[in-house]
Structure formats: C-alpha cells, structure tokens
Amino acid sequence: MRCRKVVLTSLSPFDPSPFQKYGCRPLRISTIRLLPKREEILRLKENLSHQRHDSAVFLSPRSLRVVNPSKKIIRSLSEMRLYAVGPSTKASLEKFGLTKVRLPCRYTSKALLEEILSDHSEHPFSSIALLRSSFANDLMRRALSEGGIPVEEYRIYSPVVDPKGVEKFLRTLRTGADFVVFTSGSSFELMQAFLPFKARRKLQSLLKSTHVIAIGPETARVLKSSGIEPSVAPEPSLWGVLSSLGAA
C-alpha cells in the first residue's frame, strides 16, 4: 500500500508512529511562531505570586512554556484548581510537575466551559486566570463572567507568521500531499495575510485539490471563508485527526 503524506501545520512535536498504522507519513511544518507578550506575562506572574487566583484555565499546550514559570510560580499553580482543554495541553502541564489537572469529557472549549461552570456550582471559585492567545475570541471569558465567576484574562502571546515555514509549506504542497491538517485557524489567516495576491490564490487552489482536515469547527469556519471545504476532526486531538484519516 502506498504511504500517504500528511502535512500538519503544528507547532508542537508529536509521535509519528500512530500515523504509520494508518499508512501515513506525517510531516510537521510550523508556519507561525509565538511572540511572548512580556507585560501580560509579568502581570500574570505577579498575580500568581500573590495568590490572587484559586484556579487557572489552559487552552493551549504552549501557554505555560511561554510563561517560563519559576519554581515559586509552579508551587502557586500546584495549589490551584487547574483545567486543560485537551490531552496535549494536560501533558504540557505535567511536564512541569502539575499532575492534578482536570480534563473535560470532550476536548472542546464548550465542554471545558460546562465542566468549570458545574464545578463552580458545587465549589465556587474566587477568581480564575484564563491564559490565551491575542488572537482568541472573547467567548470563554464572557461565558465565565455570565456564569458568576470572577475571571482575569491574560493574552500572553501573539502568533506571528514564520516566513521560512510558509515557504516550506508551499513547496511541500507543490510536490504533492495527500492530506493537510490545520490545527488552528490563525495559522491559515496569518499565512493568507502574509502572501501576495497571486501566491494566496495559488495556495487556495492547491488546498482545494487536497484533502484538508480542520482540527475543529472554528478552524473549519476560517478555511471555508476562503472557499476551502475541509473535513472536521470528530474531536480536537491527535485521536480526532487519526480518526479522520482512517475514514478517508
């Protein structure tokens, strides 16, 4: 059986062996890089040091690495109720020794929100720290506030385009790929904004002739706005991507 090439626009390394079981050869290409927002990170560290929050929500496996926490910050976090949106985010916290991390039953922001609101009804929070990207929408913060939970949002990093990564991504598409997996809508939006008009149209043309998989509904919405019709992983995780590959 021919080995199918899968291109993933992901910042995080992953184990390629599960892909091989599906007859696929994965290639990770990062088309963006993260720019830490120093003032926001300092504000977060100050508030964690003074124990101004009793819980924290992590929506990305890169969040804590961007913060670069000291031992004092890790100790503060270890005494808080921690929530992660999915297994890779939970694993990123465990690397810092933070093992008591709650996961929602489904790995989506909506399920995470429901989990937090349910916990709040039983054991009310005094204040939640919400760690985000500057590109993230305001839905989670507003929903928590409307649920009666005091929440402080920290937009601790901004995704910016990686020109070398974009060049490699385009070169790989031109040589042929069976699947392209987008793990965030911002990576596609930034790439679109970076490319000149003709290159942008060429990118869209290449993607329309490739099986594109979106990690979730929001990423799919961004792709559809450019005329690309992706399949959507049944859950925003490695398992979800593999499930989509197995069904293709």
Question: For residue 20, what are its two tokens?
Answer: 């091989």
Q: Do 151 and 130 form a contact (C-beta atoms < 8 A)?
A: yes
Q: Do 73 and 98 form a contact (C-beta atoms < 8 A)?
A: no
pLDDT of residue 230: 95
pLDDT of residue 184: 87
pLDDT of residue 179: 95
pTM: 0.84
Domains and CATH numbers, the chain: 4-31+162-247 (3.40.50.10090), 35-159 (3.40.50.10090)
Q: How far apart are CA 44 and CA 30, in angstroms?
A: 27
CA distances in angstroms from 247 to 35, 210, 220, 242, listed in the order given: 36, 15, 18, 9
Q: Which segments of the chain have a pLDDT < 50?
A: none
pLDDT of residue 1: 53
pLDDT in tens, 180-238: 999 888 899 999 999 999 999 999 999 999 999 998 888 999 999 999 999 999 888 88
pLDDT of residue 237: 80
- Termini Cα distance of the chain: 15
